[in-house]
Structure 1
Amino acid sequence: MDASLKELSKLEKLTASSSGRNKASSVSDSLDSLLVALESVRANIDDISEEAWESISQNIEAKKKEIDDRQKEIYSVTAKLGKAIDKKFPATLPSYPDLFESDASISALEGAIALHFLRTGQFEAAQAFFEESNVDIPSELRSQFIELHSILRALRGQDIGPALLWASRHREFLQSRGSPLEFYLHRSQYIRLLLSSHPANFHDAVAYVKAQMRPFFQDHQAEFQRLMACAVYLPLSRLQTSHYADLASPSLHFELEPLFAKEYCASLGMSRQVPLRVVGDIGGGGALAKIEKCRRVMRERKSEWSQRDELPIEINLAPENQYHSIFTCPVSKEQSTEHNPPMMMTCGHVVARDSLQKLAKSSGRVKCPYCPTESLSSSALQVYF
């Protein structure tokens, strides 16, 4: 999508005011300027000399040229954008029958849309959707998402008080997950106090550690040592060039928002990512086009990968969308389970345990199906992951 986004960015710049390759006025700016000039002429038409008429004529021609040049640029970039999109999505998606015909499926779809609006903080859109659909979201859940975005706005404004209050109320839950959220919130406040311009705030920062952060010492001893030692490199200019420069980075505070959202959603039994956004990123990012192309090729060749209508292709996902490892045995074409884990042989090839047992000979040795010259002892196997 990089090429398409690049051309779209160019198109946005061309249509924006006073932008473009030559920093020329946009079409709307040129027309507005010309309109103002003509209105001025109209107001003083009785007093205009022949030289003024000549100047007005030249101004009109100049504005016309500006508009023509800008239109050519826009048409050129629009054509490139279309080509980039066609290149990214070479195959048209098929038409499928309506998947949301039953009342249950329609209700599920409307519920997913409503939750999307709530989770992304679009509360006005959510309210309008509630009024126009039959979806029913518990008022308690709505209030919880309102609270979530209220706390995120406070964090954005460098106010960690609401987030700390929530974290202290849910400390047992956070500890059960091994989450460092509460400690990171206190760490953020300590760093802000430490980097304050007033020298007396150093003592306030140390007092804050003693009063608020002692319960976390056992689990974060190494980080505590760094927090105390970094004070030696004050002021900020020295700290930024020391081994503790990461503690002076603004990202230390910015990372609190996604971490808090993740833990808050986990407390509600929800994933850290918004489902509809994940579907759009993966499917709209090219996965649907690749799947349909593979289906079309296999249909034309009349070849089948498996009876489950699976496809022998790999869809590259962004790291945030790679949730867990799935291993499919290349011999049996079955996915591994706890009772049938993947096993790696000394030659480096991996197959499922059941397949290895079938490949094993009566002598207790296993012949790797991918290394004809190598015969391995069954004791030389290990669980892969």
Structure 2
Amino acid sequence: MGDALFAAIRDIDRVAKKQRTCSAKTAQYLSQMEDEIRAAKAKLEKSASREEKKRLLKELHDKLLTLRLPGQIEDKQKEFYGSVSRLGKSVDKHFKSESFGDRETNLDDELLDKVIANHFFREGEPQLGQTFCEEANVSVSEDLKQSFLDMHVVVSELKNHNVLPALEWVKEKREEERASPLEFKLHSMQFLRLLGSQGCKVALNYARTNLSQFANTHMLEIRQLMGCLLYHNNIARSPYKELLSEMHWETLRHTFVRECCSTMGQACESPLLVASAAGSLAIPTLAKFATVMGKKQDWTTMEQLPVEIDLGHEFTFYSIFACPISRDQASRDDPPMMLLCGHVLSKQSVTKLNKSNSKPFKCPYCPSEQKFSDCVEISF
């Protein structure tokens, strides 16, 4: 898949290069035609006799035919569209269509449209989102639209290293009198900005006013910031130069978006992006499984995926229980069961331990004994 993708990118780059060449040559030929026509027009305005004008027009016509400018423009266009046509064939060649089963799902089309519309607004594309809402006949609340719009206004300011709008938002959303880690990070970045632009005195006064409230929770970070005062003339060459890294601003923007979405009751990551990314990781494995198994096993009728697909920790949104005895993950058919002693095993493992329904069985991890009826099915 990776090799095919890089090959397709190379083909696209070639077509883009051909398009730029075609555009430049076409502009050159049109400019040359314009110069010839303007020169002929100037001569026509000066000529008095009808025969002279006819002669000048014939000369212009013959010259344009000799230069073949329209023909050259047409040739370049044909060459470019030929490249575009070959690109389509190249994509078909590198990305072969693979069918590995059609699983019927009760997909809610209206819900999917709302997720797509929500994605456009949360990504800072209100015009695109509004157009989609009108064409798909779905609605997103005006309050949510405005909240996303306000969020991106603050994010834009953070890209310009202006933390004041973000600080105003944090103070407005602050619960009671408790300061958040985001607020500390914003004050820290503002302190560094003031230190670099207005000097030690202004930065120190700012720290006394805004950083002292975080002394109990962020003392180590505050000490590092105070150490920057010794190198205020050239922090970039100091032991604290890492604090000026652009990575901190990127992390700050990401943290702000997460807190803002959490305040709005929205997922921290776009559900559409998460689902698309997870699907793109799972599809190659499923396609390979379908190719190997052929018609022997139809995975589309199974309750669970036939193979384990590791999507990485970034796609883990809830706890996963694995039985300490069988090492299998819990499922709808094999849920976790809690014993009287508090230890948790899978239902299948408890069933194997409970050889006789009338007699109690012993927990494999402690001396506690219990019957199958004493075990409680739990949900995470």
Fold similarity call, TM over 0.5: yes
- Tell me which residue corresponds to 1:36: 31
Alignment CA distance shift 1:320-1:240 (3 Å) = farther
Q: Which string of whole-angstrom CA distances, capped at 9 and with x for unpartnered residues, describes residues 140-161 of structure 1?
A: 2222222212222222232211
Higher CA-based Rg = 2
Q: Alpha-carbon deviation of 1:7?
A: 4.0
Q: Alpha-carbon deviation of 1:64?
A: 8.8
Q: 1:167, 1:182 within 8 Å by CA — same for their partners in 2?
A: yes
Q: Which string of whole-angstrom CA distances, capped at 9 and with x for unpartnered residues, describes residues 20-53 of structure 1?
A: 7xxx9522322332333344445647567x9x89
Task: Provide the rounded CA distance (Å) in 2 between the counterparts of 1:71 and 1:299.
Answer: 40
Q: 1:14, 1:74 within 8 Å by CA — same for their partners in 2?
A: no
- Tell me which residue corresponds to 2:263: 267
Q: 2:121, 2:145 within 8 Å by CA — same for their partners in 1?
A: yes
Q: Which amino acid aligns with 1:10?
A: R
Structure 1, unpaired ranges of 5+: 345-349, 367-376, 381-385
- Tell me which residue corresponds to 2:208: 210
Task: Provide the rounded CA distance (Å) in 1 between the counterparts of 2:351 and 2:140.
Answer: 52
Q: Which amino acid aligns with 1:166?
A: W
Task: Provide the rounded CA distance (Å) in 1 between the counterparts of 2:159 and 2:270.
Answer: 20
Task: Provide the rounded CA distance (Å) in 2 between the counterparts of 1:295 and 1:304.
Answer: 8
Q: Alpha-carbon deviation of 1:3?
A: 3.9
- Tell me which residue corresponds to 1:227: 225
Q: Alpha-carbon deviation of 1:249?
A: 1.0
Asked whether 1:355 is paired with 2:349, we answer: yes
- Tell me which residue corresponds to 1:194: 195
Q: 1:14, 1:26 within 8 Å by CA — same for their partners in 2?
A: no
- Tell me which residue corresponds to 1:312: 306
Task: Provide the rounded CA distance (Å) in 2 between the counterparts of 1:72 and 1:126.
Answer: 35
Q: 1:93, 1:289 within 8 Å by CA — same for their partners in 2?
A: no
Q: Alpha-carbon deviation of 1:332?
A: 6.3
Q: Alpha-carbon deviation of 1:203?
A: 0.9
Asked whether 1:92 is paired with 2:99, we answer: yes
Task: Provide the rounded CA distance (Å) in 1 between the counterparts of 2:238 and 2:336.
Answer: 48
Alignment CA distance shift 1:353-1:302 (3 Å) = closer
Asked whether 1:83 is paired with 2:82, we answer: no
RMSD after superposition: 4.4
Task: Provide the rounded CA distance (Å) in 2 between the counterparts of 1:5 and 1:179.
Answer: 43
- Tell me which residue corresponds to 1:321: 315
Q: 1:151, 1:162 within 8 Å by CA — same for their partners in 2?
A: yes
- Tell me which residue corresponds to 1:244: 240
Q: Which amino acid aligns with 2:24?
A: D
Q: Which amino acid aligns with 1:192?
A: R
Q: Which string of whole-angstrom CA distances, capped at 9 and with x for unpartnered residues, describes residues 188-225 of structure 1?
A: 101111122x5xx2111111010111111111011011
Q: Which amino acid aligns with 2:124?
A: G
Q: 1:331, 1:355 within 8 Å by CA — same for their partners in 2?
A: no
Q: Which string of whole-angstrom CA distances, capped at 9 and with x for unpartnered residues, describes residues 163-199 of structure 1?
A: 1111112222895xx9511111111101111122x5x
How do residues 360-379 of structure 1 correspond to structure 2 at under 5 angstroms? 378=365
Task: Provide the rounded CA distance (Å) in 1 between the counterparts of 2:346 and 2:210.
Answer: 51
Q: Which amino acid aligns with 2:22?
A: V
Q: 1:91, 1:289 within 8 Å by CA — same for their partners in 2?
A: no
- Tell me which residue corresponds to 1:256: 252
How do residues 279-298 of structure 1 correspond to structure 2 at under 5 angstroms? 279-283=275-279, 285-291=280-286, 293-294=288-289, 298=293
Task: Provide the rounded CA distance (Å) in 1 between the counterparts of 2:139 and 2:125.
Answer: 17
Alignment CA distance shift 1:25-1:108 (3 Å) = closer
Q: 2:100, 2:290 within 8 Å by CA — same for their partners in 1?
A: no
Q: Which string of whole-angstrom CA distances, capped at 9 and with x for unpartnered residues, describes residues 217-253 of structure 1?
A: 11101101111112223333xx334432211212222
* Structure 1 range deviating more: 220-229 or 155-164: 155-164
Q: Equivalent pairs: percent with the same residue?
A: 25
Equivalenced residues, count: 339
Q: Alpha-carbon deviation of 1:257?
A: 1.2
Alignment CA distance shift 1:174-1:163 (3 Å) = farther
Task: Provide the rounded CA distance (Å) in 2 between the counterparts of 1:357 and 1:187.
Answer: 57
Q: Which amino acid aligns with 1:282?
A: A
Find 2:21's aligned residue among 17, 26, 37: 26
Q: Secondary structure at the match of 2:145?
A: helix
